[in-house]
Structure 1
Amino acid sequence: MALEFRSVTKTFTTNSGDLLTAVKDVNFVVNEGEFVSVVGPSGCGKSTILSMTAGLYQPTQGEVLVSKERVTGPNSHVGFMLQKDLLLPWRSIVANIEFGLEARGVAKAERRERALRELRHCHLNGFENQFPYQLSGGMRQRAALARTLAIDPEIILLDEPFSALDAQTKLLLQNSFAKTISETGKTTLLITHDLAESVLMSDRIIVLSERPGTIVAEIKVDLPHRDQPIKRRMMPEVSEYAAQLFKHLKLEEKAA
């Protein structure tokens, strides 16, 4: 069991002193090697779920476990990839990928070896000495994934990493990410507003309600080619899954 949320509620205090509950009584498991997406309306607590998994927030109630250990703060088991690549413009691509390893005190020779290995995984061979401004948006996102993989986390958290890309680049990058994550066997949790994306990339999809986010559905995506979203996209069942997700979200919108 790679990740578990047990009866998790998270409440924040606003600047005005009011209490705001982001998620309420959330229970789910992401098994080792599984790719799970979380979808839901804006403001329903999706990012809060990622932040608690990464140890950036502590639950108000309940507990989050990674590899059966309670998460009490940031830890080396989790790699977090945000919407923006956040590459350091003054460092080469290989030096950017080494950054997390350098911060952990990994020896120079080992971190270079690991960085180059992840460059190959992410199909960036030959670009190791380029700088971020010399790469396209999609290539920078692949470099960000390589940086995340280089620290060898047990769980990869993806916070809408494809949202800023054009449609063609987005699909190509989804395919590249899915293949790389499948090859490495990483447990992955993705939050997204794109219902089709969740179907194309996931083994299972968790649907949240309006805030406070509670789980209203868990949908198993019983389709082949999770490692090849372009192939999966050609399957007529993808539209059926997306319609099912939309139905859950629309019903919740009406109920609110």
Structure 2
Amino acid sequence: MALEFRSVTKRFPTNSGEELTAVKDVNFRVEEGEFVSAVGPSGCGKSTILSMTAGLYQPTEGQVLVSDEPVTGPNTHVGFMLQKDLLLPWRNIISNIEFGLESRGVGKEARRERAMKELKHCHLEGFDQQYPYQLSGGMRQRAALARTLAIDPEIILLDEPFSALDAQTKLLLQNSFAKTIAEAGKTTLLITHDLAEAVLMSDRILVLSERPGTVIADIKVDLPHRDEPIKRRTLPEVADYAAQLFKLLKLEEKAA
């Protein structure tokens, strides 16, 4: 299922009575099964783009489309993962994974079968009866991914899901996520500040300007191993792509 932004502008009211323009004239398309990352300065509207995709905000101007249909509110086509896993501490892992299915009225037997499948898919076998406090940060994020996949969304939105993890756990989890999402054939949009992460995980990278954010570059990552970032990491071209992003975001000037 494809995702498209057509000339999207989003403005928010402020306490002063004026309007703040978060993003302006944003145009891009994510094809079915494609993994696209968006990078840009803090405050450029990356999270606003995710929220509009999920139907949490409506554009002030333009259209957001999922499968060529305008997004008019929260919809069942989209699964949203945030920086925090947001697992419910009073529920064990399997019942956390079942939560979205339960809220949609799926029967007990059917949702347990689906949850166990995703538990295995995310390499959490044997941890179904554990509680969130008993798991590491990486395992909790895998449980959050299993919960997202359990509702079988066509589009997955990732809002910096690895940012709070240590470097080793981050790399292992990037690899696990990439493989799982590729196997499931999901259309994915990742928001990240980590330029290397964008190169390692993506088919394409959208570069956003400072606020009001607009797409200033759309870079095709023509490298193998999109489903295995650890393997892609060994390719010398990765540094070239990262340097290109560094230059587009004018990080050399800011560091000088």
TM over 0.5: yes
Preserved CA contact (<8 Å) 1:210 1:252: no
Q: 1:239 to 1:113 in 2, by over 3 A?
A: same
After TM superposition, the structure 1 = structure 2 runs for residues 113-124 of structure 1, keeping only pairs within 5 Å, are 113-124=113-124
How far has the Cα of 1:69 moved from its partner? Answer: 1.1
Preserved CA contact (<8 Å) 2:246 2:252: no
Could you list the runs of 5+ residues in structure 1 that have no partner in the other structure? none
Instruction: Quote the Cα distance in structure 1 between the aligned partners of 2:172 and 2:6.
Output: 36
Preserved CA contact (<8 Å) 1:39 1:192: yes
Instruction: Quote the Cα distance in structure 2 between the aligned partners of 1:191 and 1:114.
Output: 28
How far has the Cα of 1:15 moved from its partner? Answer: 1.8
Match of 2:12 in 1: 12
How far has the Cα of 1:67 moved from its partner? Answer: 1.1
How far has the Cα of 1:68 moved from its partner? Answer: 1.2
How far has the Cα of 1:18 moved from its partner? Answer: 1.5
Deviations 1:195-228 (A, max 9, x none): 0000000000000000000111000000000000
After TM superposition, the structure 1 = structure 2 runs for residues 169-248 of structure 1, keeping only pairs within 5 Å, are 169-248=169-248
Match of 1:148 in 2: 148
Deviations 1:17-55 (A, max 9, x none): 121000000000000000000000000000000000000
Q: How many pairs align?
A: 254
Deviations 1:142-198 (A, max 9, x none): 000000000000100000000000000000000000000011000000000000000
Percent identity over the alignment is: 85
SS in 2 for 1:246: helix
SS in 1 for 2:12: strand
TM, length-normalised to structure 2: 0.98
SS in 1 for 2:250: helix
Match of 2:138 in 1: 138
SS in 2 for 1:129: coil
TM, length-normalised to structure 1: 0.98
How far has the Cα of 1:252 moved from its partner? Answer: 10
**Which has the larger displacement, 28-37 or 7-16?**
7-16
Preserved CA contact (<8 Å) 1:204 1:218: yes
After TM superposition, the structure 1 = structure 2 runs for residues 62-77 of structure 1, keeping only pairs within 5 Å, are 62-77=62-77
AA aligned to 2:166 is: D
Could you list the runs of 5+ residues in structure 2 that have no partner in the other structure? none
Q: 1:101 to 1:252 in 2, by over 3 A?
A: farther
Instruction: Quote the Cα distance in structure 2 between the aligned partners of 1:61 and 1:150.
Output: 33
Instruction: Quote the Cα distance in structure 2 between the aligned partners of 1:178 and 1:132.
Output: 23
Matched, 1:106 2:106: yes
